[in-house]
A and B are shown apart, each in its own frame.
Chain A
Amino acid sequence: MFDLPILSLLIWLPILGGIAVLLCRENLYAARWLALLFSLVTMLLSFGLYTGFDTSTAQMQFVERLPWVETFNIEYFLGVDGFSMPLMILTTISTLLVVIASWQVIKDRIAQYLAAFLIMEGLMLGVFAALDAILFYLFFEAMLIPLFLVIGIWGGPNRVYATLKFFLYTFFGSVFLLIALLYLQFKAGSFSILDYHAVGLSLTQQIWLFLAFLIAFSVKIPMWPVHTWLPDAHVEAPTGGSVILAAITLKIGGYGLLRFALPITPDASMTLDWLVISLSLIAIVYIGFVALAQSDLKKLIAYSSIAHMGFVTLGLFIIFRIFANASLLPGAGNGEVLAVEGAMVQMISHGFIAAAMFLSVGVLYDRMHTREISAYGGVANSMPKFAAFAVFFAMANAGLPGTSGFVGEFMVILAAFQANFWFAFLAATTLIVGAAYTLWMVKRVFFGEIANDDVAKLKDINGREFLLLGSLAVIVLFIGVWPEPLLNVMHASVEQLLVQVSQSKL
């Protein structure tokens, strides 16, 4: 590219767009089209990251570095690597989908609604692109504000409780993050995250920092037992809010562990890997069963999200056990690479699948105004096209090979076996439990005789909904059939991360 400050453009374009949309206020027509235009341009621009990306290096790319608050040595420092770049593209695609999804659905204050999402998009892109700790923290906190507003204003009847719970949880986590980041500045002499990576720390220091990171990011992911805000937030959030929450917000937690916990505190990560591994396995098994008991569609998918994110944290933290076992093995299975890349693929894939699932619930909710599974039955009779999509995404959610849902789980399970047989054993139960809660839901909602008159009157999806679900289906299928184009961009970064974590800082 022509030396465009592409990352700054990506961050500020949607924010400016958001402000512009906000100014439209009463002019619904202009608000919608303007929002669409800005999110579309942002998405196309983000593709430039992929095409211009140099896959051979783990160095930060598209770097922009300007002094900002010179007194405190805070910089405006942006850059991407193989971890952040795919997540940024996920963000821009999801936002575009949300804008299209809310086209006719949101009737109340649509300009403000769309503006919130555009501003949120810019801030989330900022989270992924920021390489200065303070800048990161600002984006990290600021992106929550539009999200709170979206849930608090356009949410369901119990939205205040949900927002408050969400706020308290994340605020609780953020405090620890801020302390950790400030402490690291004290040690490293700058706010650059890259300098943080190189700073030497004793084991005790690492453990305290690691715990701070873990608390901050585990709330976001969310990991058991700090997950209970998510089902409530999803249930109350409007469809667009759920999509962004599931597709992006949760990923910020996983990204945080990758960017901060593992490279900054490798020894503590190794010492405490048992903690993260056991929480991840609890998330996969325990939450899987909890999902089985849900009677609310959104809660079911929310719990399913938690279980799927368990694979991300599992993949990231089994690497130390694989390193330990690798010396005993004749044929190195490359488990550590599979684990980290599997975790990344799982994040991207879950972003798309969860978005599709929440959009599907939105399709039903817009027509029936209920999320209770028992209110449905035999929807396939009146909405055959929609049912086909729903079965497809359900299968993707259950990790069927050929869909993106399979790739990450497959990689992590293969890797987990190289860490410990029982890790793989417990993780693989998702094959059964994941299929059980997803397909049982499909059976109760879509199959059978038409349950009631409301279902009989349902209209099949319109062109706009078809476009949304269809494009997600294409992406999910593409990643499942050929994941290498996605993995290709992260190889170098994963390799570097594995070097970082295997070198003790002590």
Chain B
Amino acid sequence: MTQNLLLAIVLAPLLGSIFSGFFGKQIGRHNAHRITILGVTIAFALSAYVLKLVLVDGESYNATVYQWLQAGSLSIEVGFMVDALTAVMMVVVTFVSLMVHIYTIGYMHDDDGYCRFFSYISLFTFAMLMLVMANNFMQLFFGWEAVGLVSYLLIGFWYKKPTAIYANLKAFLVNRVGDFGFLLGIAAVLMYAGSLNYIEVFNQAPQMADQQINIWGDSSWSLMTVIGILLFIGAMGKSAQVPLHVWLPDSMEGPTPISALIHAATMVTAGIFMVARMSPLYEYSQTALSFILVIGAITALFMGFLGLIQNDIKRVIAYSTLSQLGYMTVALGASAYSAAIFHLFTHAFFKALLFLAAGSVIMALHHQQDIRQMGGLKKYLPITYWTSLIGTLALIGAPGLAGFFSKDAIIEAVHASTIPGAGFAYIAVMTGVFVTALYSFRLFFLVFHGKERFDAHGHPPHESPKVVTVPLILLAIPSVLAGYLIGHMVFGDWLAESISVMPEHDVLATLDYHGVWGFLLHGLQMPPFWLALAGVVTAWFLYITRPDLPGKIQQKLIFIWRIMDNKYGFDSFNEKVFAAGSRGLGGLLWKIGDIRLIDGLVVNGSARLVGLVARVGRQVQSGYLYHYAFAMMIGVWLLLTWFVI
């Protein structure tokens, strides 16, 4: 593996982005998509080659490209670290990105911002690759914020739409709350490890583990707990964990291809990747791991519930993404990092597939997104139908499909975990299985089966063009097959070099794994399978057999429904307390602090004082000689007193 190879992977999408962004008008729409797709194809092919080098030839890479800055003996550098974890992420990112690039040709066909869109998604690919390939915290933070920037630009892609520009500002600011913690975490790492380079920091970890720090008063905290939680706050922002999840559902205002790429498959998993990457640090703090576990479990369960009542096709999938990110986070908390990465890996395929399929439906219905206005689309959109079915089955963990393996591994790992919070997390992820199946098939049945409730605009909906359906098919294949890598990725040695787990936390080692078929058979006898099945059956009963029932249930449980419809009140709380509060505070500080106190009292006050002194002074300058003489005598007297004393 050489530096040039890795540079080519990173720079190919960047160059594509620059060309289509700056010269879109000159080179035209076709060349804009050609050049960006070429860039991403190069990145994908070379990433696949790198994966082969890492897994088959056992190579790895860690070196500096250039020195970013030097401060005293500290050197902050830009460089790459490639091991199995990085290589897997590179392939996932570039593959999904390539699929989305091709799909975009169809989806954005009539949009004025065609070249701009291609430029953004290629730029995103660059930023995401920088993030996963970093060998130090500075570059990680660069990638971290750069993907946030592109996400901001893409959510607000249709910048005339008020909801879109509200959503992108919200997304950026909520992410910044996470980055706030993340940056403090990085500062803590630098302070105690004396370096920002991963390997140097990891080598320091055992010494750092004994450190305590005082944050408030005399209470001292374990350093690793503080670092772990601060860094994880960053992950909570990026990977949308409660309570920083609020931006993700709104991000659906962006065009569908980026919902698939950024808000399902890649960017939102950056937090998961980061925690896995930092496993040598997290292993030293059980408190931080418990924190992660509980946050993940809350997200997995409660965001899943919200998926049940959404009527916007993209929002259902968005809540599903939140819930699945919660699963990954739970796995991290249970120290089953490889299971988290494995779920990230399989989820990227089937969730991108579901989003792109949703986009295909949206196109067919002339940008109708309300699932109450759909139904019976099976016969009109056969390819979309079958690929959606595969994606949905993979998501709910149907035996044999990708999600089954990755989700079961997580559930088993949580079951085996003994750290505080594991009991709650186990219940949450188990309940989550039922909820996932219910909302997924509710969506599926409402869209593709039942009565046709859509407005056909005069002619029946038709299947999307090849540029749309081919990516669907290409994503459906790994949605089926990716799970069979479980032996290598979770229980094998692929990720062993990248991830470190302490023996007392190693839950995956306690599981009996006897090959992939054994895992499959074992899974069929376990509750998650039956819970998923129950979810499907319930969905079938409620939305196919008795479509009148959901409305009645909603009426009966109107109180709970209201809470859920308000998304547990997070949005209104943030809007009222943080947004309005900050604006109010700013206004108050300005009007009272600056205008009234500083300017009003001090500045203009001194001006008035000067005026006053001047008036008194005018009286003194009376022109009468004896007045001056009198003043002089007083002055001399004062001076004499001064010297004598």
Residues of A within 8 A of B207 (CB): 330
Residues of B within 8 A of A491 (CB): 70
Complex contact B71–A381 (CB within 8 A): no
Indicate which residue in A294, A334, A421 contacts B213 across the interface (CB closer than 8 Å): A421
Interface centre among A400, A406, A414, A435 (most CB of B within 10 A): A414
Q: Mark B297-312, 1 if CB is under 8 A from A, else 0.
A: 0000000000000000
Complex contact B603–A333 (CB within 8 A): no
Residues of A within 8 A of B585 (CB): 289
A443 to B153, CA, bound (A): 12
Indicate if A141 sits at the interface (CB-CB under 8 A): no
Among the stretches B26-34, B183-191, B374-382, B514-522, the one at the interface with A is: B183-191
The number of residues on chain B lying at the interface, defined by a beta carbon within 8 Å of a beta carbon of chain A, is 61
Residues of A within 8 A of B191 (CB): 329, 331, 333, 335, 414, 417-418
Indicate if A228 sits at the interface (CB-CB under 8 A): yes
Complex contact B593–A286 (CB within 8 A): yes
Indicate if B253 sits at the interface (CB-CB under 8 A): no
Indicate which residue in B71, B149, B156, B159 contacts A334 across the interface (CB closer than 8 Å): B71
Rounded to whole Å, the gap between the CB of A482 and the closest CB of chain B is 7
Complex contact A431–B180 (CB within 8 A): yes
Complex contact A228–B598 (CB within 8 A): yes
| Main secondary structure on A side of the interface with B | helix
A424 to B74, CA, bound (A): 19
Residues of B within 8 A of A292 (CB): 582-583, 586
Complex contact A431–B194 (CB within 8 A): no
Q: A-B contact count, CB below 8 Å?
A: 166
Closest to A422 in B: B215
Indicate which residue in B156, B582, B602 contacts A433 across the interface (CB closer than 8 Å): B582
Complex contact B69–A293 (CB within 8 A): no
Among the stretches B168-176, B426-434, B487-495, the one at the interface with A is: B168-176
A443 to B172, CA, bound (A): 12
Complex contact A439–B590 (CB within 8 A): no
Indicate if B503 sits at the interface (CB-CB under 8 A): no
Q: With A289-B586, A402-B146, A417-B184 in contact, do A337 and B72 touch (Cβ < 8 Å)? A: yes
Complex contact B74–A428 (CB within 8 A): no
Indicate which residue in A169, A291, A332 contacts B194 across the interface (CB closer than 8 Å): A332
A336 to B177, CA, bound (A): 27
Closest to A292 in B: B586
Residues of B within 8 A of A487 (CB): 69-71
Complex contact B71–A331 (CB within 8 A): no
Complex contact A165–B603 (CB within 8 A): yes
Rounded to whole Å, the gap between the CB of A485 and the closest CB of chain B is 10
CB-contacts of A391-411 with B (<8 A)? 391, 395, 400-402, 406-407, 410-411
Indicate if A267 sits at the interface (CB-CB under 8 A): no
CB-contacts of B65-79 with A (<8 A)? 66-74
CB-contacts of B150-203 with A (<8 A)? 152-153, 156, 159-160, 162, 165, 169, 172-173, 176-177, 179-180, 183-184, 186-188, 190-195
Residues of B within 8 A of A410 (CB): 138, 141, 183
Complex contact B160–A381 (CB within 8 A): yes
Residues of A within 8 A of B454 (CB): none
Indicate which residue in B152, B162, B177, B586 contacts A293 across the interface (CB closer than 8 Å): B586
Residues of A within 8 A of B183 (CB): 410, 413, 428, 431
A155 to B73, CA, bound (A): 48
Indicate if A365 sits at the interface (CB-CB under 8 A): no
A330 to B194, CA, bound (A): 8
Indicate if B614 sits at the interface (CB-CB under 8 A): no
Closest to A332 in B: B194
Complex contact A435–B71 (CB within 8 A): no
Interface centre among B69, B160, B188 (most CB of A within 10 A): B69
Residues of B within 8 A of A228 (CB): 594, 598-599, 603
Indicate if B632 sits at the interface (CB-CB under 8 A): no
Interface centre among B183, B204, B585 (most CB of A within 10 A): B183
Indicate if B142 sits at the interface (CB-CB under 8 A): yes
Indicate if A341 sits at the interface (CB-CB under 8 A): yes
Closest to B604 in A: A165
Q: With A228-B594, A428-B183 in contact, do A417 and B190 touch (Cβ < 8 Å)? A: yes
| Main secondary structure on B side of the interface with A | helix
A391 to B157, CA, bound (A): 13
Indicate if A253 sits at the interface (CB-CB under 8 A): no
Closest to A340 in B: B71
Indicate if A323 sits at the interface (CB-CB under 8 A): no
Indicate if A5 sits at the interface (CB-CB under 8 A): no
Residues of B within 8 A of A446 (CB): 159
Residues of B within 8 A of A337 (CB): 71-72, 74
Rounded to whole Å, the gap between the CB of B417 and the closest CB of chain A is 31
CB-contacts of B574-600 with A (<8 A)? 582-583, 585-587, 589-591, 593-594, 598-599
Indicate if A378 sits at the interface (CB-CB under 8 A): yes
Complex contact B146–A333 (CB within 8 A): no
Complex contact A443–B184 (CB within 8 A): no
Rounded to whole Å, the gap between the CB of A235 and the closest CB of chain B is 13
The number of residues on chain A lying at the interface, defined by a beta carbon within 8 Å of a beta carbon of chain B, is 65
Indicate if A258 sits at the interface (CB-CB under 8 A): no
Complex contact B598–A331 (CB within 8 A): no
Indicate which residue in A225, A289, A334 contacts B72 across the interface (CB closer than 8 Å): A334
Residues of B within 8 A of A436 (CB): 173, 582
Rounded to whole Å, the gap between the CB of A284 and the closest CB of chain B is 13
Indicate if B607 sits at the interface (CB-CB under 8 A): yes
Complex contact B71–A291 (CB within 8 A): no
Complex contact A291–B165 (CB within 8 A): no
CB-contacts of A357-416 with B (<8 A)? 378, 380-381, 391, 395, 400-402, 406-407, 410-411, 413-414, 416
Indicate if B145 sits at the interface (CB-CB under 8 A): yes
Indicate if A484 sits at the interface (CB-CB under 8 A): yes
Rounded to whole Å, the gap between the CB of B219 and the closest CB of chain A is 13
Closest to A449 in B: B160
Q: With A165-B603, A290-B589, A334-B73 in contact, do A431 and B187 touch (Cβ < 8 Å)? A: no
Complex contact A484–B184 (CB within 8 A): no
Rounded to whole Å, the gap between the CB of B629 and the closest CB of chain A is 30
Residues of A within 8 A of B156 (CB): 447
Rounded to whole Å, the gap between the CB of A329 and the closest CB of chain B is 7
Residues of B within 8 A of A439 (CB): 152, 169, 172-173
Indicate if A429 sits at the interface (CB-CB under 8 A): yes
A483 to B191, CA, bound (A): 21
A424 to B169, CA, bound (A): 25
Indicate which residue in A401, A418, A482 contacts B141 across the interface (CB closer than 8 Å): A401
Residues of B within 8 A of A484 (CB): 67-70
Indicate which residue in B159, B173, B607 contacts A432 across the interface (CB closer than 8 Å): B173
A330 to B186, CA, bound (A): 17
Residues of A within 8 A of B593 (CB): 286, 290
* Chain A positions near chain B (C-beta within 8 angstroms): 165, 168-169, 225, 228, 286, 289-294, 329-338, 341, 378, 380-381, 391, 395, 400-402, 406-407, 410-411, 413-414, 416-418, 421, 424-425, 428-429, 431-433, 435-437, 439-440, 443, 446-449, 482-484, 487-488, 491, 495
Given A330-B207, A401-B144, A413-B187, 7 additional A-B pairs, CB 8 A: A225-B598, A290-B590, A413-B184, A432-B173, A433-B582, A449-B162, A482-B68
Nearest first, the 9 A-B pairs at minimum CB distance are A331-B194, A417-B187, A334-B72, A293-B586, A292-B586, A337-B72, A289-B586, A401-B142, A334-B74
